[in-house]
């Protein structure tokens, strides 16, 4: 049993996909295990409520698992999974805009922006290539991305965090490549400006 699990762990992601597409539930389980961190992280930058992040992550993973057979080319997994993430996210925005009494994003932001300079200082000495980013910086970056106006938030997550091509992003967001290009550029300039005191 443990020997078998070890085998799945050692497999290439594409091999897991192919097995999962042929009803190998152990392969599907390992696939979900490997993908869940990525889905969770994506939603962490798209929404701020912890419960929403968890619900959306679970729903996206469920859709991935349930629809894995519809993925034609295993090489397209990332783009395909991100389409599921994007659709779920759009549904969530629609839900929130219908619910008038959700917790105000502004109040949460103010709270989380209360970081003291003392906490941030050690990181200023870090070199860019070293992955020595503090929890505070991560929170600040997450907040800044979360607070981007809508068309910019999803493109920055799909590009910077998920590494999708402009073509894939255009597909997922149902817009033109030119629009995607200018949105990413503007979102980056805005984020750079907002984060320049921290990074």
Partner 1 sequence: MENPNCQQVINLLELYINGKLSPILANAIEFHLNICPKCRKKYFELKTEINNVKDKPKIHSNRVERQIEHYIQNLSAYIDNELDDKDNIKIRKLSIVNTQARQKLEDILYFRQMLQNSFDKTKNNLKKDYSEEIIHRILNSGRKRINSEYVSLVISTLFLIFWSIEILYLYN
Question: How many beta carbons lie within 10 A of that of residue 96, not counting itself?
Answer: 14
Cβ proximity to partner 1: between 30 and 89 the closer is: 30
7/199 Cα distance (integer angstroms)? 41
In this structure, the dihedral spanned by the alpha carbons of residues 90, 95, 100 and 106, taken in order and rounded to 10 degrees, is -40
Binding mask 51-70 for partner 1 (x = CB under 8 A): ---x--xx--xx--xx----
Residue 40 within binding range of partner 1, rule CB under 8 A: yes
The token pair that represents 137 in the structure block: 């910086």
Q: Is the dihedral of CA 45, 46, 47, 50 positive or negative?
A: negative
CB of 182 to partner 1, least distance (A): 8
The nearest distance, CB 118 to partner 1, in angstroms, is 20
Instruction: Scan residues 109-168 and list those touching partner 1 (CB under 8 A).
Output: 128-129, 131, 133, 135, 137-138, 141-142, 145, 159-161, 165-166
For residue 42, which of 94, 74, 78, 95 has the smallest C-alpha distance?
A: 78
Among 21, 36, 48, 109, binds partner 1 (CB under 8 A): 36
Q: Which DSSP state fits 104?
A: P
Which CB sits closer to partner 1, 101 or 178?
A: 178
Question: Which member of 28, 46, 56, 172 binds partner 1 (CB under 8 A)?
Answer: 28
CB of 152 to partner 1, least distance (A): 12
Task: Measure the CA–CA gap between 142 and 186, rounded to whole angstroms.
Answer: 18
Is 30 an interacting residue with respect to partner 1 (CB under 8 A)?
A: yes
Both structure tokens of 178: 């030119």
Integer-rounded Cα Rg, in Å, for the chain is 19
53 within 8 A of 43, measured Cβ to Cβ: yes
Interacting residues with partner 1 (CB under 8 A): 25, 28-30, 32-33, 36-38, 40-41, 44-45, 54, 57-58, 61-62, 65-66, 128-129, 131, 133, 135, 137-138, 141-142, 145, 159-161, 165-166, 181-182, 184-185, 188-189, 191-192, 195, 199
């Amino acid at each position: 049993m443990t020997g078998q699990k070890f085998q799945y762990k050692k497999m290439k992601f594409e091999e897991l996909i192919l097995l999962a597409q042929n009803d190998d539930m152990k392969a599907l389980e390992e696939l979900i295990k490997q993908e869940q961190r990525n889905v969770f992280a994506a939603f962490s930058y798209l929404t701020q409520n912890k419960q929403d992040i968890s619900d959306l992550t679970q729903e996206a993973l469920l859709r991935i698992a349930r629809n894995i057979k519809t993925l034609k080319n295993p090489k397209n997994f990332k783009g395909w999974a991100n389409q599921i993430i994007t659709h779920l996210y759009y549904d969530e925005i629609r839900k929130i805009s219908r619910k008038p009494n959700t917790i105000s994003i502004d109040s949460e932001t103010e709270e989380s922006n209360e970081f003291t300079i003392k906490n941030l200082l050690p990181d200023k000495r870090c070199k860019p290539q070293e992955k020595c980013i503090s929890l505070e910086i991560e929170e600040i970056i997450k907040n800044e991305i979360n607070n981007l106006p809508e068309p910019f938030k999803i493109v920055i997550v799909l590009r910077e965090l998920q590494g999708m091509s402009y073509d894939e992003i255009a597909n997922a967001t149902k817009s033109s490549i030119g629009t995607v290009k200018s949105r990413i550029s503007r979102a980056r300039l805005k984020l750079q400006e907002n984060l320049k005191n921290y990074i």
